[in-house]
Chain A
Amino acid sequence: GENVEQHPSTLSVQEGDSAVIKCTYSDSASNYFPWYKQELGKRPQLIIDIRSNVGEKKDQRIAVTLNKTAKHFSLHITETQPEDSAVYFCAASSYSGGGADGLTFGKGTHLIIQP
């Protein structure tokens, strides 16, 4: 089955700096890579996702890059703000039009924004 490794487990950055979280996956058939954000005491929410036919996707201050050859993908957050403090989960699946039963999550990164 799929195995997703996520690093680092904790990341502390100064407010205004950039943050990068990296994930690797093992199944070359995986083609859907979402990122979820979980603020303290709240539910996880999808913040961005990318599919294997795209190398990079941006949404305001966040971006995700995908390298299918190396089987890794990364989340980039620029100009970090206090509200970016949360746990971030990456995931991978062989998405084929629906369903999350094939979705495998990384163990999460606790991002801390220092004032």
Chain B
Amino acid sequence: DGGITQSPKYLFRKEGQNVTLSCEQNLNHDAMYWYRQDPGQGLRLIYYSQIVNDFQKGDIAEGYSVSREKKESFPLTVTSAQKNPTAFYLCASTDSLNTGELFFGEGSRLTVL
């Protein structure tokens, strides 16, 4: 069953703690993306990676970090420096040589207590 898997689906953390969200894909896509979704705000790009061992900041990268050690995996760390981390996080991938269609995971909802 091909697709993108995000975990955990729900996560609670205390202020001052870092947390890492997992994103794995078996679509053999080169490019992967992290978006943040807030009510009434659409989808905002946090980080993206077009190839292994390379990634670029998106529009709202402050307080976040990523790595891309394997083609299939693109974890996102929400650090304590992120001022307002409570949000719904979506991971996506695309076959950059094809249509550009984004394939999304089911998302991770992070709540900071």
Q: Inside 8 A of A14's CB, which chain B residues have their CB?
A: none
Q: Inside 8 A of B100's CB, which chain A residues have their CB?
A: 32, 34, 93, 95, 98-100
How many A-B contacts at CB < 8 Å in the complex?
A: 66
Asked if B101 contacts A46 (CB within 8 A), the reply is yes
* Alpha-carbon distance A107/B99, docked complex (angstroms): 23
* Alpha-carbon distance A101/B33, docked complex (angstroms): 8
Number of B interface residues at 8 Å Cβ cutoff, please give it: 28
Number of A interface residues at 8 Å Cβ cutoff, please give it: 25
Q: Inside 8 A of B50's CB, which chain A residues have their CB?
A: 99, 101
Asked if A99 contacts B90 (CB within 8 A), the reply is no
B93 to chain A, nearest CB (A): 9
Asked if B102 contacts A46 (CB within 8 A), the reply is yes
* Interface check A42, CB cutoff 8 A: yes
Asked if A44 contacts B43 (CB within 8 A), the reply is yes
Asked if A108 contacts B33 (CB within 8 A), the reply is no
Return the 8 tightest CB-CB contacts between A and B, nearest first.
A98-B96, A43-B104, A107-B42, A105-B42, A105-B43, A101-B48, A99-B96, A46-B101
Q: Which residues of A contact B (CB under 8 A)?
A: 1, 6, 9, 32, 34, 36, 42-46, 49, 89, 93, 95, 97-101, 103, 105-108
